[in-house]
Structure 1
Amino acid sequence: MGFLKTCVLRRNACTAVCFWRRQVVQKPSVRKISTTSPRSTVMPAWVIDKYGSNEVLRFTQNMMIPMIHYPNEVIIKVHAASINPIDVNMRSGYGATALNMKRDPLHIKIKGEEFPLTLGRDVSGVVMECGLDVRYFKPGDEVSHKPKSLTHAQAASLPYVALTAWSAINKIGGLNDKNCTGKRVLILGASGGVGTFAIQVMKAWDAHVTAVCSQDASELVRKLGADDVIDYKSGNMEEQLKYLKPFDFILDSVGGSTETWALNFLKKWSGATYVTLVTPFLLNMDRLGIADGMLQTGVTVGSKTLKHFWQGVHYRWAFFMASGPYLDDIAELVDAGKIQPVIEKTFPFSKVPEAFLKVERGHARGKTVVSVV
């Protein structure tokens, strides 16, 4: 987690997840690519030199400030960042195979050459420098055109969980503001970052939301708009759910044993859909390698999809999807007052290891944020 980030605006993808709109990218220049000269100064950062437990996090004041390498990049001075469970998992090596493939598609790097590695994906800050092909942003812009109603800390808490939930609900689940009225929705893991966002967007679209969380989070999810709240600690979940009407859509951010029973509570033969965010995709690649891991993943999702299709419901996996247009839609809901960031705790930059431990312990009530500036 560094003080600065290079944000690559390649169509709808960004190395740092932040609020931005689609940027038309011209053919890369082979000459000067930046609006300013390259810097040779250093910055403070939290890095890891190997995968492991929280002790691998190391603070340095001598990380080189990133330079613009392509004319469609911008450099951001980070004001705030948030930590997601995937960041904690990646600290321990989760997804290393896919990460290194993305970093080095030709596989010519030596194992371990990704270090020192800077973790983190959500940021909010100010544009310091732009590549020559960048037209939509300019130095001084708040990254990237964040909702004016939000502070940097609030803005940093939203993009990753918002886009993850949005891809599950809208892109994979097919729900939107025009077809959601009256739909019965069940959200498993409702008090976490994805869950708290999902509740709000489903209520903004006039769905009926049942939220599953622990009793101490029930007040929070009700304030966010949940119509019914089920305490998963108060007894057998299946017994509690069987007294409710079947659901049109289930969003599962818990995984594990929930998959063995949750689909039973969908409306049969009506287009009802179960979407899980807990998949073995990266684990398969870490364990089996890229080719065999992708093959095993395809077999798994295919067999499960077919099995549940014959039982009258749709089974789907969802992942985070970077998208400028989606963030535009989310920003509109934020500025309209229909979505509010849910931040459980904010840590100073000096306490990044404590912030990682907070997320690692689980039982989130919204997001954990790090104040950088």
Structure 2
Amino acid sequence: MLYPTPLLCRAAPARLLLGPGCSRWLSLSCPRQVVMPAWVINRYGQNNVLRLANNMVLPFIRLPNEVIIRVHAASLNPIDVNMRSGYGAAALNIRRDPLKIKTTGNEFPLILGRDVSGVVMECGLSVSCFKPGDEVWAAIPPWKQGTLSEFVVASGNEVSLKPKGLSHTEAAALPYVGLTAWSAMNQTGGLNQNNCAGKRILIVGASGGVGTFAIQLMKAWGAHVTAVCSQDAKSLVTKLGADDVIDYKSGDTEEQLKLLPLFDFILDNVGGSTEKWALHFLKRWSGATYVTLVTPFLLNMDRLGVADGMLQTGITMSTKAVKHLCKGVHYRWAFFTPSGIFLDEIAELVNSGKILGYLHFC
């Protein structure tokens, strides 16, 4: 499945309601029963489980490293759609409640949304990098309450100052896909601005949010990029800097790739049958790496339970890694990683004009 560009939703003006006809600003670090609207689900299912709740209790600071952000814009990603249906619930609930103190279903009402751009309202005692009034952006981890609300709490190390050249709406399109691509290319794949010059990069599923960001990141670091996408997206990925474009609808992708030199790195945003043929196009015994973002990690735990799911995941990953290492290439899985530090680096690229965002509105 291709990763689409995030869908943006504009937040309504914030208001703290104390009762009928009465509203005023309060400190959000105290657990007072003031409420806000938010898009929530009370059970897993299809779109009909999503509802607008007007009585969600405002979040408050629980830890000294947290900040409260007034949401100006938020976006939806495929992970939100999947979470609505219960994807990853077993693993995410363990992360929310490691000791299993709470009862089953305690995650509800669950607020979706990972991306946020907004203004800091209050900071915990140990937060020194931000102050009230700062314009910031962040990607909230999926085990926390999301951003489709008036206010959201984030750890200070998940937050970064918003790029100056972007509106809040534009900024809210980038954090989750940007950090996912950064995790795959840099943290997992080992690529950086000092070692990418001249390297050949293949991006499968290049027209989605992660793919379009990855194209720009690799071009900013000096790599040669080949993008696999549909003909409809050819002009987009070319505009973003792709050197070669393979239209998977116009013919056999493998046959088209055989006409090109081998690659140093492959990013797979699609999964499925792609894994069966993609690794054949890596340069063997040269440190070439295949990284996929489509893994069975969360599905295994949903299907088998946490313990057996982790065991099955470990066996699958290690088996594939060893198998391909014996053939002279590296095989790895990558995951979204929340990080204010990486967002700082992304913000520098945005401010310098090397990264652009593309918006689809709901």
TM bucket, shorter chain: 0.7 to 0.9
Within the candidate set 266, 271, 294, 1:255 is matched to: 271
1:293 partner letter: G
Q: Quote how far apart the aligned CAs of 1:155 are.
A: 1.1
Matched position secondary structure for 2:201:
strand
- Cα deviation 1:15-67 (Å, max 9, x = unaligned): xxxxxxxxxxxxxxxxxxx7865543211111001101111101111111111
Q: 2:235 aligns with which of 219, 224, 241?
A: 219
* Alignment match, 1:116: 109
Tell me whether 1:105 sits opposite 2:98 in the alignment.
Answer: yes
1:116, CA displacement in angstroms?
Answer: 0.8
Whether the 8 Å CA contact 2:10–2:74 is kept in 1: the answer is: no
Task: Please point out which of 45, 59, 66 is paired with 1:66.
Answer: 59
Distance 1:250 1:217 in 2: 19
Q: Does 1:339 align with 2:355?
A: yes
Is 1:191 paired with 2:184? no
Would the alpha carbon gap of residues 38 and 116 (structure 1) be closer, same or farther in structure 2, given more than 3 Å must change? closer
Alignment-mate amino acid for residue 217 of structure 2: V
Q: 1:285 to 1:36 in 2, by over 3 A?
A: closer
Q: Would the aligned equivalents of 1:3 and 1:77 in 2 still touch at CA under 8 Å?
A: no
Correspondence for 2:85: 92
Q: Does the 8 Å CA contact 1:2/1:45 hold for their aligned counterparts?
A: no
Q: What does residue 50 of structure 1 align with?
A: 43
Q: Is the 8 A contact 2:28 2:60 kept in 1?
A: no
Give 1:134 deviation, angstroms: 1.7
Per the alignment, residue 280 of structure 1 pairs with: 296
Distance in 1 between residues matched to 2:58 and 2:266, nearest whole Å: 43
Match of 1:130 in 2: 123
Aligned to 2:148: none
**Corresponding letter in the other structure for 1:253:** N
**For residue 351 of structure 1, what is the aligned residue in structure 2?**
none
The structure-2 alpha-carbon separation of the partners of 1:113 and 1:309, relative to structure 1 and needing over 3 Å to count, comes to same
What is the CA–CA distance in structure 1 between the aligned matches of 2:218 and 2:10, rounded to whole Å? 34
SS of residue in 2 equivalent to 1:330: helix
Spell out the pairing of 1:314-329 with structure 2 (5 A cutoff): 314-329=330-345
Q: How many Å separate the matches in 1 of 2:128 and 2:255?
A: 56
Unaligned regions of 5+ residues in structure 2, if any? Answer: 1-8, 13-26, 137-159
Contact 1:189–1:252 at 8 Å: present in 2 too?
Answer: yes
The Cα of 1:235 is off from its aligned counterpart by 1.2
Q: Give 1:317 deviation, angstroms.
A: 0.4
The structure-2 alpha-carbon separation of the partners of 1:213 and 1:72, relative to structure 1 and needing over 3 Å to count, comes to same
What's the CA shift for 1:133? Answer: 2.1
Tell me how far apart the structure 1 counterparts of residues 10 and 239 of structure 2 sit (CA, whole Å): 34
How many angstroms apart in 2 are the aligned matches of 1:204 and 1:91?
A: 35
**Conserved 8 A contact 1:74-1:129:** yes
The 5 A counterparts of 1:295-306 are 295-306=311-322
Aligned partner of residue 70 in structure 2, secondary structure: strand
Aligned to 2:196: 180
Question: Would you say how many aligned residue pairs link Structure 1 and Structure 2?
Answer: 317
Q: 1:103 Cα deviation (Å)?
A: 1.1
Which residues of structure 1 form unaligned runs of 5+? 5-33, 348-373
Amino acid at match of 2:73: A
Partner of 1:210: 226
State the shift of 1:71 in Å.
Answer: 2.0
Residue type of the alignment partner of 1:315: Y
> d(CA) in 2 for partners of 1:342 and 1:242?
31
Q: 1:140 to 1:176 in 2, by over 3 A?
A: same
Residue 260 (structure 2) aligns with: 244
Q: TM-score, normalised by structure 1?
A: 0.82
SS in 1 for 2:161: coil
Whether the aligned pair in 1 keeps the contact of 2:287 and 2:330 (CA below 8 Å) is yes
- Specify the SS of the correspondent of 1:251: strand
Give me the whole-angstrom Cα distance separating, in 2, the residues matched to 1:36 and 1:295: 40
Post-superposition Cα deviations, 1:218-273, rounded to whole Å, max 9, x if no partner, equal 00000000000011111111111111100000000000000000000001111110
C-alpha displacement at 1:108, in angstroms? 2.2
Partners of 2:313 and 2:346 in 1: CA distance: 31
